[in-house]
Structure formats: structure tokens, C-alpha cells
Structure 1
Amino acid sequence: MILKSLLFAAATLGSALPAAAAEPAAQVHYRTADIQGVSIFYREAGPADAPAVLLLHGFGASSHMFRDLIPVLAKRYRVIAPDLPGFGQTTVKPGIAFDYTFDNVASVIDAFTVEQGLDRYALYVFDYGAPVGWRLAVANPTKITAIVSQNGNAYEEGLSAGWADMRKAWAAPTAENREALRRFNTPDMIKWQYTEGVRDTSLVAPESYELASAAIARIGEEPQIDLLLDYGSNVKQYPQLHAFFRQYQPPTLAIWGRNDPFFIPAGAEAYRRDNPTAEVRFLDTGHFAIETHGGEIATRMLEFLDRNIRR
């Protein structure tokens, strides 16, 4: 009788659990790959034979920003998220001279995708991940199956007035103008980029900006200043990117924190100019929208990818 009661209780409890709770989370693997003298740290999850999704983080972040998104996507996709050179756990090997430009960062990530066997893949780009991803797309247009841009700019009108110091340094890269960019790397400024425009800052995990600041302290500020100075090269390459959009019309979802102090909503709306079928969604949050609206981004992204690349 007791055994019957226990079995009945177990069956009843099991039926009451939501399906998601019974489904095991996808395992995430933490690996490194040696590419062009750079030890690329990356996170990988999902079936090896599933459609691939490449996640590219931005400034003040690393693949850590995808910690919650990866297990969700990995139920149906092969997901790979590298730390870009200059960020997170990725390191340049001793004795290797590495110039921190977006061309060089993109070259390493492009070679990384080849090493990973990514013949076809969708892109999720954010912040600095966007100009890296754009170079991959322009160089390998037939490899790109879809694009998700989360505050990843592609149009000059998307740059806010907050870029004034950078624009000044692009026009005149003097020692003084370079030094003015150092303030963007302070712990307080990194935290501000996570919290500015966020309605409820208690939703932002402090380890996110603390890990980013720790990486800058470990790797050094100079690579970050180099990249800020080189960001102007991305703007010059926009015409090539827009030509890619017009010719290939990749399925595109621009999902944007509308209160971003650096990349304003006009930059998201602009995707429709060269790719009329691009989908644009705004979230009531700031630059790091995935920190506060990760669940909504994951849901919309899965629906978008399932509709456009999962056949």
C-alpha cells in the first residue's frame, strides 16, 4: 500500500512539472583554439550536425554575455561564441605582435570559423561584434544564413552624439585625443554602459560588468583604445555592407534596446532601407539588452531562426 502511494505521488508530481523543467539543459563546453598566434577561448553547445549560429559579443563584454542564451539555442542549433581578441579569456601568445584593428580581429575570427568547419552559419552581432560580423559577411556572403543584430550598428545615423570624442580622435589621432578615450575603460564607465537606459537596474547581474573590467585590467587598456580609434574604419566600410544587404537580402532581425546611449533606434530602422524584409523590434532597455530582456530575445530569436533557416 505504501509503495502504491509513493508511486502514485511520484506520477502525480511528474505530471505537474512543466515540460521545460523535465527537459535537461544543453551542456556548454569551454574550449580554446589556436588561430594565427591567438588562443581563442570559446563556448560551444548543441548538436554538431545542427544549423550553426555564431555569437559575437562587443565592447565591455565577452562570450559570458551569452551564458543564458546559449543553452536555449543549443536545443536546436550548434552554437559557438568566441571571446574576441582583447576580451574575456582570449589571449595573444607570447612573442606575437598583434595590432588591435577590426580588420585583424575579423581575420582571426574568420579563420576560427574555418577551423570550426562553419561553412554556413547565422550571425548574432552586438556592438563590436557587428563590424567583425560585417567583415565576415562581406568576405563570405554565401556563408551567412541569417543575421540577428542586437544593438549592432550598420548605419551612420545609428551613432549617437556619445561618439563625439571618438569622431574627434578619428579625424585627428593625436596623443591628446587618444588619451581622452581612456575614460571609456574605467570600471564606472563600463558599469554605466550596462545600466544606462535600464528601467530596473536590479536585473543587471554585477558580475557582467565586473568581469569585463577585470579583463581590461588584465589585458590592458591600450588594445581597447586602439579599437576605439579604429572604429572609424567601420563607418568607412558601411557602403560595402549595404551592397551586401541589397544583393543577398539575408533574413535579418534587428532587436534593439531603444534607450542605448551609443546606438540609437534610427540605426535599427535603417536596416529596412537596403533590406526591406528586415524585422525590427524595440525593447524598453539600454545597450546590453540581453542582460535585462534575455528571455524575450531568446524567444524571438528562436522563432526567427526556425522560420528562416531550420528546414
Structure 2
Amino acid sequence: MTNPIKSALCASFLALTLASPNIAASPAFAVETNAMIDVTQTSFHSEIIDGIRIAYREAGDPAKPTILLLHGFPTSSHMFRNLIPELAANYHVIAPDYPGFGASDMPLAEEFDYSFAKVAEMMITLLDRKDVNNYAVYLMDYGAPVGFRMFAQHPERVSGFIIQNGNAYEEGLREFWDPIKAYWAEPSTENGDALRGFLGMEATKWQFTHGTQNPDAISPDNFWHVQYLLDRPGNQEVQLAMFLDYGTNVAEYPKWQALFREYQPPTLLMWGKNDHIFPADGAHPYKRDLNNIEFHLLDTGHFALEEFGINIAAGMIEFLDQNTTP
């Protein structure tokens, strides 16, 4: 017996097909497009250096001048996520993660030399692998001693500094640093344990929000992803190793200052003046040694890009356009 429902459906489909012959007759086809890849789009890569996978973000045309972005504590290249596309339209941008940070490998503290000298050496190797022999460098927090150590090894490679809350003068190491200085003087378990409070969620959130004009506008994505990385088993020991080694940078300050005076790299300083970690006391001394310096204090805190990203990007582009040879 014929199924009346099935017959009705078949009749309806046949009527629709006859009424719209192009639907049935048109073959499937692919549309070819000549749209160009957006050079400002960030891509994610890694290099194995000394057996450690170093992750980095990259954007822009490698044939154009390179800008190296060096992150601070406790973040990663993630802090540059919005800045990179702004720069990449006219520049080649590289933003690495240090060992133990971001998407890079995190060997245990007892199995790796967590030192600023080692990180600087690895960053030089990364640039060598990328065939980058000339670059401007954005220095922030930990990025300052990493970048200045790179500068000390190859000053002729650095076309300019963009300095944002990164220290090279003892005037910038105020009371916040007292418990860390105690650890440098006596690296005991007790003095190390006293610093673990810097590695909890409240301290992480404080670093991003303290000194800002509008703390509610700071994306909590910053705290969540940073704290996830800090809470990995073994990472606190990594951070304590870096806290301890930071003291070796202070001994290098006079050398870096002498190199500033000798090579006079063009410098754009854009500093969050409300930063309790690196206060503006550490910003002003750069004017003693650098003759070609553009100096700005911004009404924000430690991670100035979170509130003044648009201003910093615009200032950087103008500065780079004036001081970078295509």
C-alpha cells in the first residue's frame, strides 16, 4: 500500500524542484579569492634553544625594521596582545616568553639556570635564528635587565629604546624592594618564603590595578591567566630564583649607564608614574645619561599598556618613524 504521507512529500519536493530549476541544475563550485593575508595578524611560534622551547609572538613583514617587545613579571608576551597589531602594519614585531613564563617551557629551578644573564643570552640566540641584527626594543620590568644585558653585548644592534617602568638606576629601588634586598643579602629559606606572598592572586591583581585611574576597566583575563601560570607546580621556586638573581642586575647598572652615554640610543620613555614597584624615581635618572630622550610620565600604574595602550602605541609609531631606518 502506498504511504500517503511519503507520496505527498515526494510530490511537494518535485513541485519545488520544477518551480526552481536553477537549484537542482546549478553544480557545486568553489569561489577563488585573491584576498591578502593581514600582516598585522599575530602568529605564534617557538624555537628550541639550549633544549628549552621558547615561545614567541610575531607579526608584520620581516623585511621591515624589527621591534622586540620584552615583558615583565609576572606576565608574558600576552601583555603586548593589543600593541602588536598596532605596530605590525609598518614594523616587524617579535615578543618572546622567557623560560618559566607564558607558553615557553618551565624546567624546574634546580634543573635550569634561571638568571637574567641566561635569559638575555637566549633572547640573543632567538634573534640570531630570526636573522635580526638591528632592532628597537620595548623594555618593561624584567624586560629592562634582559634588554640592557643584550645591549651590553651588542650595543651596535639596538636602534632605540622604548622604556616603560623598567629600571637601570638605584634611585628606582625604593621600600617595595626591601624584603627582596634582604633575600639578596641572605638567600635563606626564611627570606625566600617571605616573598611567596608576591606570587598569590591578591598580589597579582594588585600589580595590574594599583595606581590605575579605573581599576574596574582592567581586564581580569590578566589575573586569571597569570595566576594559572604562577600556580603550576614548581613555578614559585622559578620565581624565587629570578627574585634572587635580580640582585645581579644592580651591579650592572654603572656599566649600562656608561653605555647609554657612549652610544646615545634614541629613547622614548613612557612610564606609569603611580607604580609602587618601579616609581618615577627610577625614570628621571635616564635623563642624566641619554641626550636624545622623549620623556613622558603617564597617570597610571605598573602595567601602563592596560590604560594607556592607545597613547603608547601612537607615541611609539611616531618615535620609530623618526628614528628607524627602513
TM-score (normalised: structure 2)? 0.86
Whole-angstrom CA distance in 2 between matches of 1:187 and 1:38: 27
Structure 2 counterparts to residues 43-54 of structure 1, below 5 A: 43-54=57-68
Structure 2 counterparts to residues 233-248 of structure 1, below 5 A: 233-248=248-263
Instruction: Please state how far the C-alpha of 1:202 moved relative to its aligned partner.
Output: 1.9
- Unmatched 5+ stretches in structure 1: 1-23
Instruction: Please state how far the C-alpha of 1:277 moved relative to its aligned partner.
Output: 2.1
**Aligned twin of 1:220:** 235
* Equivalent of 1:296 in 287, 297, 311: 311
Whole-angstrom CA distance in 2 between matches of 1:209 and 1:240: 35
Whole-angstrom CA distance in 2 between matches of 1:194 and 1:25: 30
**Aligned twin of 2:139:** 125
Whole-angstrom CA distance in 1 between matches of 2:137 and 2:130: 15
**Aligned twin of 1:183:** 197
Deviation string, structure 1 residues 3-26 (Cα, Å, up to 9, x no partner): xxxxxxxxxxxxxxxxxxxxx671
**Aligned twin of 1:252:** 267
Deviation string, structure 1 residues 55-100 (Cα, Å, up to 9, x no partner): 0001011000000000000000000000111101100469x93121
- AA of the residue aligned to 1:271: Y
Is this contact kept in 1: 2:183–2:244, CA < 8 A?
yes
**Aligned twin of 1:57:** 71
Is this contact kept in 1: 2:39–2:60, CA < 8 A?
no
Whole-angstrom CA distance in 2 between matches of 1:25 and 1:119: 21
Over 3 Å counting, the alpha-carbon distance change for 1:236 and 1:116 in structure 2 is: same
Query: Aligned with 2:111: secondary structure?
Result: coil
* Equivalent of 1:269 in 284, 293, 298: 284
Whole-angstrom CA distance in 1 between matches of 2:312 and 2:212: 16
Instruction: Please state how far the C-alpha of 1:116 moved relative to its aligned partner.
Output: 1.2
Is this contact kept in 2: 1:253–1:279, CA < 8 A?
yes
- Unmatched 5+ stretches in structure 2: 1-37
Whole-angstrom CA distance in 2 between matches of 1:138 and 1:271: 16
* Equivalent of 1:37 in 42, 51, 58: 51
- AA of the residue aligned to 1:54: L
Instruction: Please state how far the C-alpha of 1:189 moved relative to its aligned partner.
Output: 0.5
Whole-angstrom CA distance in 1 between matches of 2:221 and 2:106: 24
Are residue 206 (structure 1) and residue 220 (structure 2) matched? yes
Is this contact kept in 2: 1:37–1:92, CA < 8 A?
no
Whole-angstrom CA distance in 2 between matches of 1:192 and 1:109: 29
Query: Aligned with 1:157: secondary structure?
Result: helix
- AA of the residue aligned to 1:284: D
Instruction: Please state how far the C-alpha of 1:160 moved relative to its aligned partner.
Output: 2.3
Whole-angstrom CA distance in 1 between matches of 2:310 and 2:39: 15
**Aligned twin of 2:5:** none
Whole-angstrom CA distance in 2 between matches of 1:275 and 1:253: 10
- AA of the residue aligned to 2:137: L
Whole-angstrom CA distance in 2 between matches of 1:210 and 1:244: 39
TM-score (normalised: structure 1)? 0.90
Instruction: Please state how far the C-alpha of 1:137 moved relative to its aligned partner.
Output: 0.2
Whole-angstrom CA distance in 1 between matches of 2:163 and 2:173: 15
Whole-angstrom CA distance in 1 between matches of 2:133 and 2:103: 25
- AA of the residue aligned to 2:83: L
Whole-angstrom CA distance in 2 between matches of 1:152 and 1:210: 24
Whole-angstrom CA distance in 1 between matches of 2:83 and 2:238: 28
Is this contact kept in 2: 1:60–1:209, CA < 8 A?
no
Q: Which segment drifts farther, 111-120 or 68-77?
A: 111-120
- AA of the residue aligned to 1:237: E
- AA of the residue aligned to 1:91: D
Moved over 6 A (4+): none
Q: Which segment drifts farther, 284-293 or 200-209?
A: 200-209
Q: CA RMSD in A?
A: 1.7
* Equivalent of 1:89 in 79, 103, 106: 103
**Aligned twin of 1:78:** 92
- AA of the residue aligned to 1:160: R
Whole-angstrom CA distance in 2 between matches of 1:272 and 1:237: 18
Is this contact kept in 2: 1:39–1:93, CA < 8 A?
no
Is this contact kept in 2: 1:106–1:133, CA < 8 A?
yes
Whole-angstrom CA distance in 1 between matches of 2:292 and 2:230: 39
